[in-house]
Amino acid sequence: MTSTPRPIILTGDRTTGPLHLGHYAGSLRARVALQHEARQFLLLADTQAMTDNVGRHQKVTGNVLEVALDYLAVGIDPALSTIVVQSQVPELAELFQYLLNLVTVARLERNPTIKEEMRLRGFERDIPAGFLTYPVSQAADITAFKATHVPVGDDQLPMIEQTNELVRRFNHTVGQPVLVECEAVLSQVARLPGVDGRAKMSKSLGNAITLGATPDEITRAVNAMYTDPNHLRVNDPGQVEGNVVFAFLDAFEPDTAKVAELKAHYRRGGLGDTALKRMLDERLQALIAPIRERRAEFARDRAEVLGILRRGTMRAREAAAQTLSEVKGALGLRYFEG
Amino acid sequence: MTSTPRPIILTGDRTTGPLHLGHYAGSLRARVALQHEARQFLLLADTQAMTDNVGRHQKVTGNVLEVALDYLAVGIDPALSTIVVQSQVPELAELFQYLLNLVTVARLERNPTIKEEMRLRGFERDIPAGFLTYPVSQAADITAFKATHVPVGDDQLPMIEQTNELVRRFNHTVGQPVLVECEAVLSQVARLPGVDGRAKMSKSLGNAITLGATPDEITRAVNAMYTDPNHLRVNDPGQVEGNVVFAFLDAFEPDTAKVAELKAHYRRGGLGDTALKRMLDERLQALIAPIRERRAEFARDRAEVLGILRRGTMRAREAAAQTLSEVKGALGLRYFEG
């Protein structure tokens, strides 16, 4: 027992595809470290993924196991972290429904993340109700586990704000501090670009390196990486900014002095793309090989992985049921007890 | 076993106050008759009542038992009908969340019932998300029990339309006929006016006669009833239309020939309001006395009533869980089975 309570982290992923190096750099790596310091819930957010994948539910459900494999492959330890399948925790749906009364439609539409997603998807007024309200569903996930810390990108800050608004509104309504406000934990790591130089690595854009990538796939991806289009001859000075190879070295080469040296060399000329890419290739092969192997190992024992998910989900249900019981108690909804 | 399947009825009430003669004439009486012919689920809709009673949750939860007492007092037989407390059926919240993905915000806002309620409550864009989406919650209630028939007033027809749209959309999405369309059953009975002549009897308007009304309360209400303001002397011709006493006689006097005679007499003059009201008073005293007594009897045994609700809710959960299991199966969400 320590004097300060152990932080509770809620994080997770929509299950729409296997994870890639962008996830590894941006979140997975940190989760592996954090599982020793905090109580960590990792949500396989299939219900949330359904909100904008109507008619593509097989994609969502078929990737639950894939993402779980990615978690286990990178070193998430089910004895330390709780891996939860969202759809299998009915308490989250109940809490969602109660929170839904505490926010107006206008407020949801002002959420910048939703506004941006509406724009990107061309939804306008045809936005599905489940999609408009998914920040409330997220708030239910966060508060059900009484999470104190939620790792997010800065585009997700409005979600945390909305969650804390709901927490305050609920506690004020029932006159008791039942739910707990959370703190956003901003990633310290720059977002990993796609292989093609686009700002975001994404499987659907075809510019990703997945965590199960074969040696060949890695080499091909590295060779295809966008560098400096004006760096035509080895001896020309090259540009480091916007150069995908350096973005990857920044993310995955622990020897920062070496990376600084390489950047200086590249800038002044004399370091060719081929040599540079060979170095990155070696680094990525070394990084991914054990992940790929562990992933394949777990993939061979599907029943064992399902068992891990079942046990994690049961543990999560206990925590969520406790919160829901407090919520329903505060609202006077526990007719059949006492 | 009959060749045509037994109809399944879903109906119920928001638990915002004890029921009154308007409910009795409009729905309760029919439910008592129907429980012999159909499988009937009566929903104590506390979750739905919460959607526009934030901060007044005690009013909602405190009336669950009151409405249950009203049901039992009028002759709902828990061996024939299933009385269900909505908030205690988590399956409804889960189904609600899946259906929410199948309807757009624009479609919900076009729902005439919602539009009218938004106008009445002055909600505009400040409508709570839970309120905008409550027709989806109703659709979840209806479809969870695979109700084939839903008794409604004509102002509720858009709700049934919306439910059936969701049913078709869901079945189309999963490519299987999982959910069942329902049929609206329109009440044959004219809506009972308030004692004061206003179109709607309502406890909050103070123009209602509750099912537990004392003899004195009944007499006072009848004496206060709005009749024909131009019918000043007994011998004057009187007007039957808009005359609350006749509306009540139409609703509660089984001897229709007698009512027709009274109307003719009143119209040609010679039948005074006092005599007429005395007849109605007698009729209502005879109607309410046994209801009031049964109500008081059940009210003395709160534990027994809670037991009835618990057992009904358990039975309802079994039915809803079966449907939810089919829904989740069709979406591929039953990872931990088979």
pLDDT digits (tens, 9 = 90+) for B252-311: 999 999 999 999 999 999 999 999 999 999 999 999 999 999 999 999 999 999 999 999
**DSSP string for residues in A270-323:** ---HHHHHHHHHHHHHHHHHHHHHHHHHHHH-HHHHHHHHHHHHHHHHHHHHHH
Probe site for chain B from A94, A108, A136, A306 (most B CB atoms < 10 A): A94
> Cβ of A254 under 8 Å from any chain B Cβ?
no
- Quote the pLDDT of residue B1: 45
User: Is the CB of residue B121 less than 8 Å from the CB of residue B52?
Assistant: yes
User: Is the CB of residue B234 less than 8 Å from the CB of residue B228?
Assistant: no
Which B-chain residues 59-78 have CB contacts (< 8 A) with chain A? 60-62, 64-65
Separation of alpha carbons B120 and B114, rounded Å: 10
> Cβ of A47 under 8 Å from any chain B Cβ?
yes
In this complex, which of B61, B137, B313 lies closest to A332 when CB atoms are compared? B61
Separation of alpha carbons B33 and A190, rounded Å: 69
- Quote the pLDDT of residue A39: 96
Which A-chain residues 169-198 have CB contacts (< 8 A) with chain B? 173-174
Which secondary structure element, helix H or strand E, spans residue A152, and what is its range?
strand A149-152
- Determine how many CB atoms are found less than 10 A away from the CB of residue B159: 21
Q: How confident is the model at residue B117 (pLDDT cuts 50, 70, 90)?
A: confident
- Quote the pLDDT of residue A338: 63
Task: Determine what percent of chain B is predicted with pLDDT higher than 70.
Answer: 98
Mean pLDDT throughout B107-127? 81
Q: What is the mean pLDDT of each run of 10 residues along chain A (338 residues)?
A: 78 96 95 95 97 93 97 98 98 98 93 82 80 96 98 90 97 97 90 91 90 97 94 92 96 96 96 96 98 97 97 98 98 90
**ipTM of the complex model:** 0.93
Output the six-digit token pair for B115: 């539009």
> Cβ of A137 under 8 Å from any chain B Cβ?
yes
> Cβ of B253 under 8 Å from any chain A Cβ?
no
Q: Nearest CA to B113 among B47, B159, B63?
A: B159
**DSSP string for residues in B214-252:** -HHHHHHHHHT----TT--STTS----TT-HHHHHHHHH
- Quote the pLDDT of residue B199: 86
- Quote the pLDDT of residue A125: 66
Query: pLDDT per residue over A173-183, tens digit each?
Result: 999 999 999 99
Query: pLDDT per residue over B148-160, tens digit each?
Result: 999 998 888 999 9
- Quote the pLDDT of residue A1: 45
Separation of alpha carbons A303 and A285, rounded Å: 29
At position B130, the amino acid (one-letter code) is G
- Quote the pLDDT of residue A84: 98
In this complex, which of B64, B85, B333 lies closest to A87 when CB atoms are compared? B333
Q: Any idea what DSSP says for residue A81? A: E
Separation of alpha carbons B252 and B259, rounded Å: 10
Domain annotation for chain B: domains and CATH numbers? 8-192+302-330 (3.40.50.620), 212-297 (1.10.240.10)
Probe site for chain A from B67, B105, B117, B176 (most A CB atoms < 10 A): B105
